[in-house]
Each structure stands twice: as structure tokens, then as C-alpha cells.
Chains A and B, each alone.
Chain A
């Protein structure tokens, strides 16, 4: 069974610093890995999707890398802003599973202080 772990569980940084969020998974037989953002009491918003054949994806200030062999993904957020405060979750889909059946980590709660 795929285990997805996110460390640390919480992170606080001053505005302007770069954020580095980590995700590790135990089984490398994945279709892809996605990073989501969740605001308190709300649903999830997909940020970046990295296919298993890709090494990284970028969108604006966000960059996500994927190293399947080591079972790791990293989300970088450049020049953090208070609006980046949220919980960030990573999730994978196994090649043996139905599309949409994600295995999620518990998330990293981020606070960016002005």
C-alpha cells in the first residue's frame, strides 16, 4: 500500500522567503504526483501535476520536482507572500489503481508572516 508522507507538518516563514515543501512516497509505480492547496474549511485546488516520465513542472512562482527512484517530490514557492498561507498536500496515483484514486499525504500547513 502506498504511503505518502509530508514533513514538516507545519512551517512558518517571513514574507519574501522561499518555501520548500517535501513529499515522500514508498512505491515508485505511480502515474503521476500532484500538489494541491487547501485553505481552511475549503476544498482542494490543484497546483501542479507531474507525470511519472517528467522531472519537474513550473507555474509562475511554483516549481515541483519529482524523483521517482528515491520516492521524493519537492514543491518550491519563490518569494512567499501572506496569501500563500494554506495547507499544501501532495498525492499520487498508482499505476495499478483507477484514475482519480489518489493517495494523499497529511499536508504541510504553511504560515507566511508579513
Chain B
């Protein structure tokens, strides 16, 4: 068990550019979640996958955001035409998919849009 890993740890981009983040969950975990956290706030739910199926998307996930989890393993979160308001920590978490279980979070990708 190597934990949830996210890449890159930090990303600086210019407004209007596209960015992609990767998350590798704990290997036996079926569920994968994306959250976004801004400074001084708690994380906000964005979306989650059960295996390769994306089962729910928050209204926070505008059309510029897309997430995938091909083959039910790693996941990518892409933001197109980034805006300064997209600057945040993007957190990935995974779990087995059983009710009342703990979630395991990665260290996050800190995005700064200039």
C-alpha cells in the first residue's frame, strides 16, 4: 500500500492554458474522488468514479473541467482555458466503496493560474 499519489505537486500556468492532473489511487480501491480546496476553506466535492464510471459531478465542475478514469485505475482531471478563479489545491481520494469507510487522500496538486 503506497497510498494515493498525485502528480504534479505544483503547477503554475497562464490564464487560458489547459492543464491536466493525474491521480493514482490505492490499488484495490474501486472508488476515486476529486475535491477542490481554496485557502482557508474545507475541500469541496467535484466528482467521483466507481471503477471507470463517473457517477456524479458537482455543479462546481463547469464545462471546462473533465475527468476520466480509463480502465478503472488512475484518473486524470483536465481544466481547459484556465481562469484565475481555478487556482486551488486539487485533492484526490480513494476508497473501497463500502459505506461508512474512511477515505484516503493524496497530497494534492496546487494550481496557480497567473
Contacts and interface: CB of A to CB of B under 8 A. Distances in A.
Interface of A: 4, 31-32, 34, 36, 41-46, 49, 51, 89, 91, 98-107
B42 A91 contact: yes
A89 B37 CA distance: 12
Contacts, number: 66
B42 A104 contact: yes
A72 B105 CA distance: 25
A98 B55 CA distance: 9
A100 B42 contact: no
A42 B107 contact: yes
Contacts of B100: 31-32, 49, 51
Given A34-B102, A98-B55, A43 B108 contact: yes
Contacts of B91: 43-44
B103 A43 contact: no
Nearest to B91: A43
A44 B99 CA distance: 19
Given A100-B33, A106-B40, 9 more contacts: A43-B108, A44-B43, A46-B104, A99-B31, A99-B97, A100-B93, A104-B42, A105-B42, A106-B42
Contacts of A89: 42-43
15 contacts: A4-B42, A31-B99, A42-B108, A43-B4, A43-B6, A44-B103, A49-B102, A51-B100, A100-B31, A100-B33, A100-B93, A100-B103, A101-B48, A102-B45, A106-B41
Interface in B55-97: 55-56, 91, 93, 95, 97
A73 to B, nearest CB: 14
The 7 closest A-B pairs by CB, nearest first: A104-B42, A43-B105, A46-B102, A44-B105, A43-B107, A101-B45, A100-B33
